[in-house]
Structure 1
Amino acid sequence: MNRHGVLITVLFALIVSSISVSAVFWEFYKLNKSQYIDHIFTKHAIITQIYTQHQQKKTSSVMLEANLAVYKLNIVDTDNINTIANKGKFLKQESSKSVDNQLMMNSRGFYTQKIISDIRTSMFSYKNKIYFFVQTPNGSILIEDEELKPYKYFNLLYTYTTVLLIIFISFFLILQKLRPLIRLRRKIAVYGDGDMNISFKMRGSDEIASIANELEATKDKINNIMDSRTLFLRNIMHELKTPIAKGTIATQMLDTDKQKDRFSSIFGRLESLVNEFALIEEVTSLGDKTEFKEYRIIDIIDGAIDMAMAERDSVDVDIDSSVKIEVNYRLYTTAIKNMIDNGIKYSPDAKVKIRMIGNELSFESKGECLKHPLKYYIEPFTKENPSKNSFGLGLYLVDSILKAHNRVLAHEYENGMNRFIFA
């Protein structure tokens, strides 16, 4: 998820914006519709007044229709009342009272009596028309309004669609702007995997193009530094090997065996040091994973034993022959060889046991616990016993090789047993 953090953030912003806009338009739609219904419902007052006057004065139906026609209102046939009332969409209803003053007479003479009637007016929409249904104690009537139309939401829907379309187009444009960034991230990953010839160049003058072009310039500087470093190390090692070879030959011309042995040991140590430096340079500059292939672990261990020139009895291998691992054969063999050398050199019985613990390769040997944390020993030119014939590069080289294989070196001590693990 973290790899697509920017994309997820933009997508989240799109969703939140869409939901927010939708919620605002939905509330606006309800408010606008309610206001429209309230506005057109005001016409019911005229209808109620005309109908109550018709009932009070007992005018003819022709007169009622004429009065309603002035306001473009038509009386609906009685047969359609139930259909419209049941199938039509109810919009609003309001109750009111009608006061009728009638002249009455009794034994005392004439007097005025107020008759109050309850009137209920309901508004419906049916088949794109507006109807008013007026109910009184003396009867009911359904009236159709020729002018009024149900609420239309098309303009609001058009505006809502336009706003959403603008948001989605903006999101698409943002994604288009982010595409070069995604490509740039992939190129950086390829460069990190060892493809030193990948190009970061990008056209344009925006921020992403500027970053890409700066990366291209930085890549060229790094490549030049690495090429210079490699050339320098190879040249200096080549120049060192020549006098070492000459010195080894010249040693044989010395008069005494003691001097021969002493100088042979010196030049041998120098040659070993140069070889270890060459191997360290290869490991630290390792970027090409194409040399990583699948091998059986027991085959790698056999090669390491031969490289260490150790006695077979000194190395106890307890590993299933079917177990395989994908590695650079020469480097991984060197790492195992160094662990075998250390196990034999520092163990009182000069033996080391190699076995698998889960998916981890373990090297076990008897001896005292390390005096310092493992981190101390994987530094270059660090060794426990200065008298030992070592430059202190063994564990440093093992750690470097394991890191190139995305593994780490670990150490455990239990019951007088040192255990080094390729984790």
Structure 2
Amino acid sequence: MSIQKKITILFVSSLVTMTLIALWVERTNLQKAQTIEQNSYLISAKELFTPLVNKQKTELNKRIEELGLQVVTDDNIIKNAEVVYLQPHTFGALKILQYSERYYLYIKYLDQELLLYDVSQDESMSERYITNSLVILDVILMLVIYLVILKILSPLNHISQKMRQFSKGNLFARAAVKTKDEIGEVSQSFNEMASRLQEMVNAREELLRDVGHELRTPIAKGKFALEGVSDSKEKEIIKRAFNDLDTLTSEILQMQLLDKEELFEYSSFKAQTLIAEALSKLYIEDEDEIKVEIEDFEINGDLHYLTTALKNLIDNALKYSTSKPILIKVHERKISVLSSGDELDKELGHYLQAFTQQGRQQKGFGIGLNIVSKIVQKHGFKLDYEYLDGKNIFTIIFVA
């Protein structure tokens, strides 16, 4: 889970919790206010009832003032207010009304009506408004903090993107974050590291390229000079050494080339075409050494490099098989190469590393499977190995 998602979850959780607490406090305060006003109005009604009945207007006004009440003459309140308490009697009724979050005392006796308002509610309402305003302000502040944090962390997405590009082979990827904080320091450190790695990779590529090219000249000269030497056992040994050295040089250069991005030229072709191309690149003296079973299917990839990968698998099978023929089997979007022999001593991953071989076999340089693995992996396909019924089975799985 990303940091942004974690922060968002924490913010939403805090916001929901604060909202629930605010609603609970508001509801509790309203209930308390209603109870307090109801009890206060009932007590006030008892004190006002006698002067109202006796029509003692002066005494009534005096009591109203002493109780902190105010006479209200708005008939809309009587008509539209919600009745929260009702006490009817023979000659009228006593009501407590709620209108616009305020409570009013309504007393009716015969033809006399009295609507009163407790002015102390204004102070209570003011306190509630202040409390609610502070809660809203706190929510706004949390939102601002959340947005500021996201803005501060947003350059990390850019840096992460450039790191992914660099890891995939784009050696020119650099972060453009120029802030003077810790994130800016991370960006600068990444750029410095990327520059140093690019220099090292370029130096390695240049060295391998120069060595490969320089080696080809003396190898070619040696082969040419060897043609003038009379046939002998020593000539065959030297010739084989030159051929091995030429093969090793080519494989090293090819292995180095596979580290580059955007190397492949994709096209569609049949599995039968791929097998034919791979076999054409091998020197096979006896065609009976290879058996092919094909259930053809379409492949989308680079024909040249997939040919190289399959050629290496077939070449290994021919070199190391204890009996012939080997079998190339095409089925269910898979191409398998089956050969007789002992099971590999270690896991397949060990042999996918460069310059690793099975036991003490000296028929190759341990680069073939490394090249196969790189080609298959860069295509998004899979290389699998299993040992079944005395046969080593290497399979390229062409994932759809």
TM-score using structure 1 length: 0.77
1:397 aligns with 2:371: yes
1:377 positional shift: 3.6
Does structure 1 conserve the Cα–Cα contact (< 8 Å) formed by 2:338 and 2:391? Answer: yes
For residue 364 of structure 1, what is the aligned residue in structure 2?
Answer: 338
Q: Given the alignment, which residue of 89, 98, 114 partners 1:125?
A: 98
1:248 aligns with 2:223: yes
Question: Size of the alignment, in residue pairs?
Answer: 383
Distance in 1 (CA, whole Å) between partners of 2:366 and 2:73 is 108
- Which residue identity does 2:221 align to in structure 1? K
Distance in 2 (CA, whole Å) between partners of 1:30 and 1:129 is 14
Distance 1:329 1:222, change over 3 A: farther
For residue 249 of structure 2, what is the aligned residue in structure 1?
Answer: 274
1:134 positional shift: 5.9
1:414 aligns with 2:385: no
For residue 48 of structure 1, what is the aligned residue in structure 2?
Answer: 46
Listed as ranges, the matches of 1:325-336 within 5 Å are 325-326=300-301, 328-336=302-310
Distance in 2 (CA, whole Å) between partners of 1:386 and 1:54 is 119
Task: Report the structure number with the largest CA radius of gyration.
Answer: 1
- Which residue identity does 1:255 align to in structure 2? S
1:336 positional shift: 0.3
Does structure 2 conserve the Cα–Cα contact (< 8 Å) formed by 1:75 and 1:142? Answer: no
1:16 aligns with 2:2: no
Distance in 2 (CA, whole Å) between partners of 1:257 and 1:329 is 40
Q: Deviations over 1:289-337 (max 9, x none)?
A: 352513323333222111123466624141324x1233x4333221100
Distance in 1 (CA, whole Å) between partners of 2:343 and 2:370 is 16
Q: Given the alignment, which residue of 233, 237, 250 partners 2:212?
A: 237
Where 2:385 maps in the other structure, the secondary structure is strand
Structure 2: give runs of 5+ residues left out of the alignment: none
Does structure 2 conserve the Cα–Cα contact (< 8 Å) formed by 1:301 and 1:333? Answer: yes
Where 2:185 maps in the other structure, the secondary structure is helix
For residue 180 of structure 2, what is the aligned residue in structure 1?
Answer: 205
Distance in 1 (CA, whole Å) between partners of 2:392 and 2:102 is 94
Structure 1: give runs of 5+ residues left out of the alignment: 96-119
Does structure 1 conserve the Cα–Cα contact (< 8 Å) formed by 2:96 and 2:106? Answer: yes
Q: Deviations over 1:382-420 (max 9, x none)?
A: 444756632333223323333333444321222333321
1:272 positional shift: 1.1
Distance in 2 (CA, whole Å) between partners of 1:140 and 1:353 is 111
Q: Given the alignment, which residue of 320, 340, 360 partners 2:314?
A: 340
Distance in 2 (CA, whole Å) between partners of 1:256 and 1:236 is 31
Q: Given the alignment, which residue of 104, 108, 116 partners 1:145?
A: 116
1:210 positional shift: 0.8
- Which residue identity does 2:295 align to in structure 1? I
Distance in 2 (CA, whole Å) between partners of 1:301 and 1:139 is 111
Distance in 1 (CA, whole Å) between partners of 2:73 and 2:195 is 88
1:60 aligns with 2:33: no
Does structure 2 conserve the Cα–Cα contact (< 8 Å) formed by 1:37 and 1:92? Answer: no
Distance 1:53 1:197, change over 3 A: same
1:291 aligns with 2:264: yes
Distance 1:32 1:238, change over 3 A: same
1:319 aligns with 2:292: no
Does structure 1 conserve the Cα–Cα contact (< 8 Å) formed by 2:47 and 2:63? Answer: no
- Which residue identity does 1:125 align to in structure 2? Q
Distance in 1 (CA, whole Å) between partners of 2:34 and 2:252 is 90
Distance in 2 (CA, whole Å) between partners of 1:179 and 1:70 is 63
Distance in 2 (CA, whole Å) between partners of 1:244 and 1:381 is 21
- Which residue identity does 1:249 align to in structure 2? F
1:121 positional shift: 6.2
Distance in 1 (CA, whole Å) between partners of 2:236 and 2:65 is 133
- Which residue identity does 2:341 align to in structure 1? E
Distance in 2 (CA, whole Å) between partners of 1:234 and 1:363 is 32
Distance in 1 (CA, whole Å) between partners of 2:217 and 2:114 is 116
Does structure 1 conserve the Cα–Cα contact (< 8 Å) formed by 2:51 and 2:59? Answer: no
Does structure 1 conserve the Cα–Cα contact (< 8 Å) formed by 2:326 and 2:337? Answer: no
Q: Deviations over 1:315-365 (max 9, x none)?
A: 4141324x1233x433322110011112233331233223133x4432223
Distance in 2 (CA, whole Å) between partners of 1:60 and 1:272 is 124
For residue 106 of structure 1, what is the aligned residue in structure 2?
Answer: none
Distance in 1 (CA, whole Å) between partners of 2:72 and 2:247 is 115
- Which residue identity does 2:218 align to in structure 1? P
Distance in 2 (CA, whole Å) between partners of 1:66 and 1:395 is 106
- Which residue identity does 2:10 align to in structure 1? A
For residue 187 of structure 1, what is the aligned residue in structure 2?
Answer: 162
Q: Higher mean Cα deviation, 377-386 or 12-21?
A: 377-386
1:217 positional shift: 0.1
- Which residue identity does 2:266 align to in structure 1? K
1:205 positional shift: 0.9
Could you say what the CA RMSD is over the residues aligned between the two structures, in angstroms?
Answer: 3.6
Listed as ranges, the matches of 1:27-42 within 5 Å are 27-41=24-38, 42=40
Does structure 1 conserve the Cα–Cα contact (< 8 Å) formed by 2:319 and 2:363? Answer: no
Distance in 2 (CA, whole Å) between partners of 1:11 and 1:122 is 50
- Which residue identity does 1:403 align to in structure 2? Q
Does structure 2 conserve the Cα–Cα contact (< 8 Å) formed by 1:407 and 1:422? Answer: yes
1:65 positional shift: 5.2
Does structure 2 conserve the Cα–Cα contact (< 8 Å) formed by 1:383 and 1:391? Answer: yes
1:300 aligns with 2:274: yes
Distance 1:46 1:361, change over 3 A: same
Distance 1:121 1:231, change over 3 A: same
Distance in 2 (CA, whole Å) between partners of 1:355 and 1:386 is 31
